[in-house]
Structure 1
Amino acid sequence: MHNVKYKFENNGKKNMKEEKIPCRTVRYREFPDLLFGTSQEDGPVYFDATHFIRARGDAHRHNVRDFRASFHHWITALTDVYGIDKENMVIRDEASGHLLIDECLALLFVVYIDPAFGAYLLERMSELLSGGFTVSDTWLVQTAGLRFTKEELTQILGQHET
């Protein structure tokens, strides 16, 4: 069993759950600063929101409280769909003091930091729904680079210019 603590402030009311969860795993190559971790093998997975804000956001503009307010409907829907207790959705890492958010909100948090990524997600979803298949830009470029030489790619692109 893992050790969970709660901070008591505001006249003894329970505030935020605290747990020691090192977030060191990169899940998405496109976002190497979006680090994930868990305290136990089958426990919930969180990402380090504080680290991502410092690395990719603007600490004066972005914060977890604003994210929760701005994406309230999405967050509520995801807690309902996945059966996650809202108390466990955002926790504080004991060691670093960073705010950690449940993994189901990771890409939504990226959209909060970088709204253009939201447009990209919608474009990929449209491709998926209309064509039944989609790939990330990163995968496409890497795969093309493995298959073709730079000269072949230049020739192919030259043939398809309009």
Structure 2
Amino acid sequence: MAERDGLSALCAAVAAYAVETVEERVAAGAAPDRVLLRAVEGGSPAVVSALLDERSAPLPEAERDRLLVAARWWYERGAEGELRRLTGATGPADVRWVRDGAADRVEEVTLGGRTVRAGHGAVLTQLEWRYRILAPVGELMARAVRHEDGAGAVDV
């Protein structure tokens, strides 16, 4: 049952990477700050972008720092590596390319019963931009390394 502020529906949309529903829930008044950490850990740049609506209230510095630490943690360890740590799974991960938002594609990794998207570098960059943190150019370039999906398409 959805809460009065739409938080349950927003949580479900974030977990399902349902970007349009996230946008609708935020526009309807759901509090995006309550699910931002979950979205950051989920690794979908499109979902995080939908939650970081320009109309949303500024976050306290401690919460911003928490989001940045989480994004960097997942980025540095990689989605598969962090899922292995969290789940203890040792078998092969299921990795596939999926659409993330209207136009972008990102790897989606499933392991040990959990699924995340591997867009943590883009999420980290979004957060830094939002909070006016200037990352070194070399680091930004490393995050923008090109990836080839199984069909030969190249994503940046």
TM-score by length of 2: 0.25
TM-score by length of 1: 0.25
